[in-house]
Amino acid sequence: MRTIFWKDCLWLIDQTKLPEKEELIPCRRVDELVEAIKRLAIRGAPALEAAGAYGVALASFEREFSGLEEIRQYLVEKAKLIASARPTAVNLSVGVEKVLKRALEGNSIEEVRSIALREAERVAEEDIERNKKIGGNGAKLLEDGDVVLTYCNTGRLATVDWGTALGVIRSAVEEGKKIRVFACETRPLNQGSRLTCYELMKDRIDVTLITDSAVGIVIKKGFVNKVIVGADRIVRDGFFNKIGTYTVAITAKHHRIPFYVAAPKSTFDLSRTSEDVVIEERGAEELIYCGDKLLAPKDVKVYNPAFDFTPLELVSAIITEEGVIYPPFNF
């Protein structure tokens, strides 16, 4: 099943419910989609690209319009709202733009709608094709018997299907290589334990869960020999990804094991450097509570950035749908 798809309206797997249950939620209005994005019911840079794309289609269907100008203006307005639902991932606005640009070329309300939906479906299809290409390119870097450490979730749940960094592992396994995985839990929202373990176990790929802080010991003990992560935004001097990626990269470098990044070209934003990107800060409650359990004093001060930046000097290779890029990274 795809993470996001259109059937009469837009449907998403509510990832906040996993691994307890795989629940589909319908979005019939842009507001519902934006809320779902904000509360991370859907997350992962490539999945957000599809969400952005489908969001524009959703805007075209969510109400009646009296004329062409009205639907065009409405789409432009809603496109901004969707694109700004989360500030760090570039893919959300890439998806929005892809569909908006074409949809505005429609010459009737009906044409705008059908173009928007067709283009959104194309974005979703292309994501899957692209991920399979990333997987195929990256699989060449994995050998039979490798044990790969991964961070956060970069699997089918982070994309429309297949995954980026996990897609590389999937492709290697599909080629017949025996690959084992160590998954970091990825605090504070535990995408690693909740989503990555869930996906890999479903696919019968051998996975061991560790705390984020156990990265040092598992690398030192030689339990893992390679690291693969995804990326939310690749800029000229490095890349942004889930908070903690940077610490993993430093640890991999210290032990001289390869540290690979797998991401589609749409993640590249080479007009910018790390200085130009705002890192989203999320609420204190993500660290203070876990479900109903109180993990810290209620009024404690918290610094909770959603992402961190890893400079290129810690990266061994970047795997994209077009091939593998090695240092020096002459983008």
Q: Which is nearer to its own copies, 54 or 240 (CB)?
A: 240
225 binds its own copies (CB under 8 A): no
* Residue 234: C-alpha distances to residues 252, 276, 318 (Å): 19, 12, 10
278 binds its own copies (CB under 8 A): no
Tokens of 135: 């997987």
What is the per-residue binding string for its own copies in 9-28, x denoting contact by CB under 8 A?
Answer: ----------xx--------
Mark the segment that binds its own copies (CB under 8 A) among 103-111, 121-129, 134-142, 187-195: 187-195
For residue 232, indicate whether it is catalytic: yes
- SS3 string of 4-19? EEEECEEEEECCCCCC
Q: Which is nearer to its own copies, 141 or 195 (CB)?
A: 195
Mark the segment that binds its own copies (CB under 8 A) among 80-88, 164-172, 182-190, 256-264: 182-190
223 binds its own copies (CB under 8 A): yes
222 binds its own copies (CB under 8 A): no
Give, in degrees to the nearest 5, the angle at Cα 267 between 304 and 52.
80
Are 58 and 10 a contacting pair, CB within 8 Å?
yes
Cβ neighbours of residue 147 closer than 8 Å, sequence gap 6 or more: 179, 180, 181, 182, 223, 224, 225, 226
Cβ neighbours of residue 202 closer than 8 Å, sequence gap 6 or more: none
Q: In the complex, what is the shortest distance from the CB of residue 105 to its own copies, in angstroms, rounded to a whole number?
A: 42
Q: In the complex, what is the shortest distance from the CB of residue 218 to its own copies, in angstroms, rounded to a whole number?
A: 7
32, 119, 185, 321: which one contacts its own copies (CB under 8 A)? Answer: 185
73 binds its own copies (CB under 8 A): no
217 binds its own copies (CB under 8 A): yes
Helix (H) or strand (E) holding 52: helix 45-61
Interaction residues for its own copies, span 293-322 (CB under 8 A):
293-297, 299-305, 308-309
How far is it, in rounded angstroms, from Cα 197 to Cα 193?
5
| Of residues 210, 194, 265, the one with CA closest to residue 234 | 265
197 binds its own copies (CB under 8 A): yes
Helix (H) or strand (E) holding 233: strand 233-235
Mark the segment that binds its own copies (CB under 8 A) among 104-112, 128-136, 162-170, 209-217: 209-217
Are 306 and 242 a contacting pair, CB within 8 Å?
yes
- Catalytic residue set: 232
